[in-house]
Amino acid sequence: MLDNATVESLIARYNSPVPRYTSYPTALEFVPLADAALLDSYRKCEPGRPISVYIHLPFCENLCLYCGCNVLLSRKLEVLDEYIPLLLKELEVKTNIMEFKPRVSQLHFGGGTPNFLRLSDWNAIFAKLRERFEFTADAEISVELDPMYLPEGYLAHLRSLGMGRVSFGVQDVTPQVLEAVNRPQDISRIKAVVAESRALGYSSVNIDLIYGLPHQTLDSYRANLDFIADIRPDRIALFSYAHVPWLKHHQRRMDEKALTSPTEKLKIYLAARAHFLSVGYEQIGMDHFGLEDDSLTRAFREKTLHRNFMGYTTQKTLDMLAFGTSAIGFVSGVYMQNHLKLSGYRSAIETGKNWFEKGYIMSAEDRLRHEVITSLMANFSVNFEAIGREFSIPFAEHFAPEIARLAEFAQDGHGILSDQGFEATETGGFIIRHIASVFDAYRKGSEQKAFSKAI
């Protein structure tokens, strides 16, 4: 583990706002997008090339105060009687544009709380999906679930529809922390749900944890580490809490004075990282951990990991069709985000016009920089020669100013720079967002408040 002096040095220099780079360019660059972009990008999809599909299910009964997602609060299931038909219509209209049946190798359901849906809603969605898409034999179908809202038979029904991977949002197991963020949980119930998932044959169980929440300390966080050692999930997502109350106003309801200090926050991360490594996990990218035989673990080890709006993936830069309110897709070099509000989403589907809240059409330079940034974010390294060949550019000449900045990181011990490429060291891994931002052509100081702090 790093000594206190190194921890304090990293915080003093690098605990400033910087993008997480789930996309490049970031969503901050998205602008109003004409409907023609949808038609053009969908028609450019290659019939034989597999795609990803993301479906956003935005409803939650309870608002967790740390939440940074686009959610719609409701305790009335009747809202689904409007939303599900709209979703099915969107699936139909957009796939009609493609004039062929797309092959899907990755399907993910996020939220919100996807298990807000009734079983009949899932039946309708999967019937439409299988009507409109062809699934590859090894298609990865995954879902995010709140383990506290799973009635008897729910997990089994999802498994029968083809779900193979499940991710449970736990975040913390400490009562004081859970109360502070308005997330009631029963730890024994979560353990039972994980056991049930395995008994039903889910191939992978992921647990989400957050560090940096109110009342978390290095000592209190050990309860989370003991919990992980006890249930031993296949993957762990260890997310840094992003406190952005100017963007997510509900975060103002938390006691800001109780938030973990930057020093304590980094110590929690380092302790968690050391613990996970000691019990058989390997680090994947900047915030995930997996068992040795996990597909993401192997990809990170072999430097073939990739990153998109669904997180880390083994599948490179697939076109991603996205459905549901606020969902962001990426098709043929175009980012496109659906309307955030249900009213705008409904209007787009009913009229067949004004499909997007915003989006972005990538240039050739954007694609090049996207590849470099994604390589750094996913694999903590970038191969200059490989990218130069792929894009037919002299990398060192094209990125001379950026390489000079990488040299500064290397001089400070955060990376190893050679003519062939750059690879982050242990400390470089903690500040990989800063290192990746070297290649961000759009980042300006005045925009920093749009992003969370790096540590």
Per residue in 419-430, pLDDT (tens digit) is 999 999 989 998
CA torsion angle for 224, 229, 232, 235 (degrees, to 10)? Answer: 50
- Percent pLDDT > 70 in the chain is 97
Looking at residue 312, its pLDDT comes to 81
pLDDT at 446: 41
- pLDDT at 1 (0 to 100): 63
For the chain, the first-to-last Cα distance in angstroms comes to 16
Enter the pTM of the model: 0.92
Q: Going residue by residue through the chain, which has 455 residues, state the pLDDT in tens, using 9 for 90 and above.
A: 677 778 778 877 887 888 888 889 998 899 999 999 988 999 999 898 999 999 999 999 989 999 988 898 898 999 999 999 999 999 999 999 998 999 999 999 999 999 999 999 999 999 999 999 999 999 999 999 999 999 999 999 999 999 999 999 999 999 999 999 999 899 999 999 999 999 999 999 999 999 999 999 999 999 999 999 999 999 999 999 988 888 889 999 999 999 999 889 888 999 999 999 999 999 988 889 999 988 888 888 888 888 777 778 887 767 999 999 999 999 999 999 999 999 999 999 999 999 999 999 999 999 999 999 999 998 999 999 999 999 999 999 999 999 999 999 999 999 999 999 999 998 999 899 999 999 999 986 544 545 555 55
3-state secondary structure of 69: coil
Distance CA 315, CA 328 (A): 18
SS3 138: strand
pLDDT at 112: 92
List Cα–Cα distances, 120 to 81, 88, 199, 294, 303, in angstroms. Answer: 11, 13, 23, 32, 41
pLDDT attached to residue 367: 96
Count CA within 13 A, CB hemisphere, residue 390.
Answer: 14
What domains can you pick out in the chain, each with its CATH number? 45-320 (3.80.30.20), 332-450 (1.10.10.920)
How many Å apart are CA 39 and CA 59, to the nearest integer? 29
**Four-residue CA torsion sign, 214, 225, 19, 326:** negative
